[in-house]
């Protein structure tokens, strides 16, 4: 434990909780300020409405969570989360082909987001120097002109009172609705924001499926084949013998009114998927929840790493920095990787918080850059998507399409792709000479077939 006194974390979502876990080893006191009221059980919160929708935890997130909270994976399983074989129990229809299915020896945990978050919260509450305060709306950051430093926050509580709290470090983990960008504007500190408009809509509902002798998957993904197909869907087993079904539509292809008009709205939407598998499962299923809708009009990446005159005493983490296209299931795992990065820096740091701040934001930008690039490369397959395109877009799209198609035929290529998708390996591994050769041979045979 160092002699640093107090850290305040704005937002008690995934990033806020992870930051608290990390900072509890380096500060005498850590306070999480969460705007939402305390939930009664494992429910999606108002401040993290996306909790009603399918949340996949990738391998990198799973390994990172286990490193931060030893034993948590077993806790998830003991309390109902579903342990699956990552390649055998996943049926994935992608770019018009089914991925291979085999026992690759790796496992994935399926559970709802509230189940996952609630269990993390119980671990956090057992850390003696972390205080988790609910119903605390952070309204403002306290800034000292001299030295350009954030030294505290102004908070309003739901009884209408206001208070100020000061700390040695403030962490903004308040997600995509973060007030930091707005606050910087008032201080005349420009932030470069990369924004890509994807017009994405999520629609979800949980069901109990009838027993089946032939159902040989635990999670099934039907992805749209862009640019013609815009709607995709997933059905996944989760805790308490439930299945969550999430249907996504790019480019404003889902009309909320249609879906919410009555009970049949969801079924009609499932019937618009490129394959009938999910619809067929739902015909005789028992609905367990209401239908919920969540829109992601655009994704964005605030380039904090490039922000000149960034006030000292402030770290930003998770969706506060980057909200990535959720269809790729990476957001929570990115937050976990960022928390581990924070931990490493604090472990190696000789008490220079200002230097740590710069290094942290540069390091997370390095983590985000290939992921952002990979995701928007896919998003830009839709002609209506607007924003800054990545360099060499068409060649990247051409290459990744071959990787997707090869994943239905070649186990070694699929394994490399899985590691990249699960954020365990950098996308550059897909450029290894043996994979490039496979792609070129694949292209040659496809061309011959076409002629
Ligand atoms: C529809 C959808 C599906 C997704 N699916 C996946 C998936 O499958 N896998 C995956 O890994 N990720 C997924 N994500 C991404 C994932 O939800 C986010 O990356 C993750 O929640 C980010 O966590 P966070 O703590 O940074 O932000 P949030 O979860 O947004 O948490 C921010 C917290 O801060 C609080 N807060 C906000 N403002 C204030 C304030 N002023 N004062 C105090 N508290 C405040 C909020 O109440 C909230 O609790 C999905 C996202 C969406 C939208």
To test the pocket of ligand 1, the residue of 10, 12, 13 to mutate (highest count of ligand atoms within 8 Å of its CB) is 13
Cα 99 to ligand 1 centre (Å)? 30
Q: Measured between alpha carbons, how far is 245 from 292 in angstroms, rounded to an integer? A: 11
pLDDT, residue 42, reads: 85
Binding site membership of 299 for ligand 1 (Cβ less than 6 Å): no
Residue ranges, comma separated, of all CATH 3.50.50.60 domains in the chain are: 6-42+57-82+110-194+301-374
What does the DSSP 8-state code read for residue 57? -
Atom from ligand 1 closest to the CA of residue 56: 8
Could you say which DSSP state residue 312 is in? B
Q: Is 335 touching ligand 1 by the criterion CB < 6 Å?
A: yes
- Predicted confidence at residue 445, as pLDDT, reads 80
Distance 317 CA to ligand 1 centre (A): 11
Nearest-10 Cα torsion for 323, 326, 332, 333 = -100
Rounded CA separation 329/366 (Å)? 19
| Atom number of ligand 1 nearest to Cα 47 | 47
Enumerate residues 6+ apart whose C-beta is below 8 A from 220: 90, 91, 92, 93, 234, 235, 236, 277, 278
- Enter the pTM of the model: 0.97
Question: From atom 53 of ligand 1, which residue's Cα is the shortest distance away?
Answer: 50
Ligand 1 atom closest to residue 294's alpha carbon, by position in its atom list: 1
Residue whose CB lies within 8 A of the most ligand 1 atoms, among 19, 331, 372, for a mutation test: 331
Backbone angles phi, psi at 113, to 5 degrees: -65, -45
DSSP string, 187-244: TT----EEEEEEEEEEEEEEEEPPP-SS---SEEEE---TTT--EEEEEEEETTTEEE
Ligand 1 within 6 A of CB of 94: no
Q: How far apart are CA 129 and CA 364, in angstroms?
A: 26
pLDDT of residue 16: 98
For CA atoms 411, 106, 423, 299, the dihedral sign is positive
pLDDT at 158 (0 to 100):
81
The per-residue pLDDT for 392 is 95
234 lines ligand 1 (CB under 6 A): no
Calculate how far, in angstroms, residue 268's C-alpha sits from the geometric centre of ligand 1: 29
**Ligand 1 in reach of 173 Cβ (< 6 A):** yes
CA angle 245–117–332, rounded 5-degree value: 75
Report strand pairing: 97-98 vs 90-94. Answer: antiparallel
In this structure, are residues 232 and 220 in contact, taking their beta carbons and an 8 Å threshold? no
Q: What is the pLDDT of residue 18?
A: 98
End-to-end CA separation in angstroms for the chain: 68
Diameter over CA atoms, the chain: 74
Q: What secondary structure letter does DSSP report for 381?
A: T
Residue 420 CA to residue 32 CA, distance in Å, equals 33
| C-alpha to C-alpha distances, 26 to 15, 66, 357, nearest whole angstrom | 17, 20, 15
Helix (H/G/I), strand (E/B), else coil: 130: strand
- Strand 107-110, strand 130-133: pairing: unpaired
Q: Check pocket membership of 277 for ligand 1, CB cut-off 6 A.
A: no
The answer to whether residues 270 and 247 touch, using CB atoms and an 8 Å cutoff, is yes
Spatial distance between the Cα atoms of 361 and 307, rounded to a whole number of angstroms: 10
- Name 144's bridge partners: 149
The CA 320 to ligand 1 mean position distance, Å, reads 9
Q: How far is the CA of 341 from the centre of ligand 1 (A)?
A: 19
Does ligand 1 lie within 6 Å of residue 175's CB atom? yes
Q: Give the β-pairing of 219-222 and 90-94.
A: parallel
316 and 332 Cβ atoms separated by less than 8 Å = no
DSSP letters spanning 276-293: SHHHHHHTTPEE-S--EE
Q: Is 296 in the pocket of ligand 1 (CB under 6 A)?
A: yes
Q: Is 249 close to ligand 1, i.e. is its CB under 6 Å away?
A: no
Closest residue CA from atom 1 of ligand 1:
50
| Contacts for 302 with CB less than 8 Å, ≥ 6 apart | 181, 191, 192, 193, 316, 320, 321, 322
Other residues' Cβ atoms within 10 Å of the Cβ of residue 39: 16
Instruction: Provide the CATH number for the domain formed by 6-42+57-82+110-194+301-374 in this structure.
Output: 3.50.50.60
Q: Is the CB of 202 under 6 A from ligand 1?
A: yes
Angle at 386 between CA 419 and CA 47, to 5 degrees: 70
Short-list 360, 350, 339, CA closest to 20: 339
Atom in ligand 1 nearest the alpha carbon of residue 330: 11
Does the C-beta of 174 come closer than 6 Å to ligand 1? Answer: yes
**Structure-token pair, residue 418:** 């899985």
What 8-state DSSP symbol labels residue 271?
T
The verdict on the CB of residue 236 being under 6 Å from ligand 1 is no
pLDDT averaged over 10-residue windows placed end to end, the chain, 451 residues: 86 98 97 93 89 97 98 98 98 97 97 97 96 96 96 92 96 95 93 97 98 96 97 98 98 93 93 97 96 97 96 98 97 98 91 91 98 97 95 96 97 98 97 97 81 66
Cα of 188 vs centre of ligand 1, distance in Å, is 27
- The answer to whether the CB of 379 is under 6 A from ligand 1 is no
* Residue keyed to tokens 């983490």: 317
User: How many Å lie between the centroid of ligand 1 and the Cα of residue 36?
Assistant: 12
Q: State if residue 59 touches ligand 1 by the CB under 6 angstroms criterion.
A: no
């Amino acid at each position: 434990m160092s002699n640093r006194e107090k850290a305040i974390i704005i937002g008690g979502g995934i990033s806020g909780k992870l930051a608290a876990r990390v900072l509890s080893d380096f500060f005498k006191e850590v306070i999480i300020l969460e705007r939402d009221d305390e939930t009664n059980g494992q429910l999606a919160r108002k401040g993290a409405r996306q909790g009603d929708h399918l949340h996949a935890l990738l391998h990198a997130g799973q390994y990172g969570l286990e490193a931060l909270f030893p034993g948590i994976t077993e806790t998830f399983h003991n309390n109902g989360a579903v342990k699956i074989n990552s390649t055998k129990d996943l049926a994935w229809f992608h770019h018009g082909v089914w991925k291979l299915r085999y026992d690759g020896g790796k496992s994935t945990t399926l559970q709802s987001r509230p189940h996952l978050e609630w269990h993390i919260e119980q671990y956090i509450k057992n850390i003696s120097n972390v205080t988790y305060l609910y119903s605390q709306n952070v309204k403002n950051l306290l800034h000292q002109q001299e030295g350009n430093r954030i030294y505290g926050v102004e908070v309003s509580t739901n009884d209408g009172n206001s208070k100020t709290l000061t700390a040695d470090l403030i962490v903004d983990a308040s997600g995509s609705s973060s007030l930091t960008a707005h606050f910087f504007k008032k201080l005349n500190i420009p932030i470069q924001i990369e924004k890509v408009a994807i017009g994405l809509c999520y629609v979800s509902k949980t069901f109990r499926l009838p027993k089946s002798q032939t159902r040989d998957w635990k999670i099934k993904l039907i992805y749209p084949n862009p640019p013609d197909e815009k709607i995709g869907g997933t059905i996944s087993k989760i805790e308490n013998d439930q299945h969550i079904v999430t249907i996504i539509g790019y480019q404003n292809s889902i009309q909320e009114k249609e879906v919410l008009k009555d009970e049949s709205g969801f079924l009609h939407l499932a019937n618009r998927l490129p394959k009938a598998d999910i619809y067929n499962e739902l015909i005789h299923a028992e609905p367990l929840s209401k239908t919920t809708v969540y829109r992601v009009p655009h994704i964005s990446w605030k380039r904090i790493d490039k922000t000149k005159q960034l006030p000292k005493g402030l770290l930003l983490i998770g969706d506060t920095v980057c909200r990535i296209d959720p269809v790729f299931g990476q957001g929570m795992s990115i937050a976990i990787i960022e928390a581990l990065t924070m931990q490493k820096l604090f472990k190696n740091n000789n008490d220079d918080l200002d230097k740590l701040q710069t290094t942290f934001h540069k390091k997370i930008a390095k983590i985000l850059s290939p992921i952002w690039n990979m995701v928007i490369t896919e998003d830009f397959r839709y002609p209506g998507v607007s924003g800054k395109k990545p360099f060499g877009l068409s060649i990247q799209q051409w290459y990744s399409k071959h990787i997707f198609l090869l994943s239905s035929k070649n186990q070694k290529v699929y394994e490399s792709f899985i590691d990249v998708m699960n954020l365990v390996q950098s996308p550059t591994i897909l450029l290894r000479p043996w994979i490039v050769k496979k792609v070129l041979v694949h292209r040659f045979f496809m061309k011959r077939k076409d002629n």
